[in-house]
Structures are given as structure tokens and as C-alpha cells.
Amino acid sequence: MKKSENIYKQLSKQLSDDEIVDSYVFNDDSLSDAEQVLADKEFRELRMKKLKEMTDAERLFGNLMRIKYRILDYFDSAKYDEVFSFSNQLREYSKIIGRSNKDFANDLDVHHTKLSRLINGKDSPSIELMYRLGEHSKGELPAHYWWRLHSKELEYKIITDLEKRMSESQRVTNSIQIRA
């Protein structure tokens, strides 16, 4: 008896098919070697056809989800990662949409030099821009994602910019008295 059939028979003693599907995925090995070669060939052809026939919109969706889920995973981590700075993610997004910098700037109603400065990390984003990016991505990268990218970066800068901290602390007098 084939291994998968044996497994299925064992599981079926205690579980319904629905319960098996709810708890297991295992490969069917009921085909002969020759049948398996044909099945693999058929699958590969279907997969390649699917890839060939993919529309630009489907490719864009796949790329957008890649960016989205990487960002969400980043939010789950405590550390700041420069790859996920606002400017770097804006650059990623501008790459996948396949539009010129000028067209993209026009979509967002900002000047293209302003967009270049944002992408190059030379300018800070406004909340208004974050809303526009949320709308531009059809809500897949909503304004608050952009805000969190920016705020994690700001938090990191505030913690690590010792020079700024020193210079600002010199301007403070009469700080409060506390005892632990």
C-alpha cells in the first residue's frame, strides 16, 4: 500500500475528511512513477502559462503585498532598520508602480523635486503626504503605516543623536528634583 494511502487510512479511523483537512497536508503518492512524471509536467506547463499570462496589475499586486508584509513584520520587531526608513520604502513603492518620478509626483500633487528629496531622505514627510500615499496604494499601505515607518526612524534618531541631546541639554536650567 502506498504511504499516503496508509496514512489516510490510519487518520480516517478517528477523523472525518473535514477534520483531516483541518489538521494535515501530506503529499499523495498514489500515482505510478510514469504517471507522476506526466502530472509534474502538466503542472509545470500550467504554472508557466499562468506566469506568462499575468497582467501588470497582478504583478503589481504581488509586489505590493511583498512590501506590505515586510513592513508589517518590521513593525513587530523592536529594532530600527534603515531598510525600512520612510525614504527607502517610498523608493521601493515608487519602483514597483513603474511610473516616472514626475508622474508619481503628479499623482500625489507634490512637486517632483520635493518627491526626489523625500525619496533621498533629504526632506521629512508631512501627514498630508501619508494620507495621499495611503490613497495612492488603494489603502494597502495606509497613512498610518507610513507614519509608523517615519516615527520608528525618528525614535531611533532621538535615542542615538547624542550630540543633539548634549547641545539641547545645555539650554535647560532648573530641571526637576527627583529621588528614586
Partner 1 sequence: MALKDKKSGKTLRSIVSRVVEADYKLISESDEFSFDWNEEVENEVFKIYLRDQSDNILGLLSIIDYPDELRIHLNLLEVGKTNIGQTKKIDNIAGCLIAVACKISFDRNYFGFVSLKPKTRLIPLYKEKYGFDQYGRLLAVDGDSSNQLIKKYLHDEEE
Which of 1, 32, 37, 63 contacts partner 1 by CB under 8 A?
Answer: 63
- Looking at residue 74, the DSSP 8-state letter turns out to be H
Q: Does 25 bind partner 1 (CB under 8 A)?
A: yes
Q: Does 138 bind partner 1 (CB under 8 A)?
A: no
Question: CA 157, 162, 167, 171: dihedral to nearest 10 degrees?
Answer: 80
Answer yes or no: are the C-beta atoms of 86 and 146 closer than 8 Å: yes
Q: Does 95 bind partner 1 (CB under 8 A)?
A: no
In the complex with partner 1, which residue's Cβ is closer, 58 or 161?
Answer: 58
In the complex with partner 1, which residue's Cβ is closer, 83 or 158?
Answer: 83
Q: Does 156 bind partner 1 (CB under 8 A)?
A: no
Which of 30, 100, 120, 126 contacts partner 1 by CB under 8 A?
Answer: 30
Which of 70, 99, 102, 122 contacts partner 1 by CB under 8 A?
Answer: 70
Q: Does 20 bind partner 1 (CB under 8 A)?
A: yes
Answer yes or no: are the C-beta atoms of 129 and 152 closer than 8 Å: no
CB of 33 to partner 1, least distance (A): 14
Answer yes or no: are the C-beta atoms of 107 and 136 closer than 8 Å: yes
Which of 6, 37, 72, 113 contacts partner 1 by CB under 8 A?
Answer: 72
Q: How far is CA 165 from CA 124, 152, 155, 174, 178, in A?
A: 20, 18, 13, 17, 20
Q: Does 44 bind partner 1 (CB under 8 A)?
A: yes
CA distance 93 to 89: 6
Grid coordinates belonging to 87: 525614504
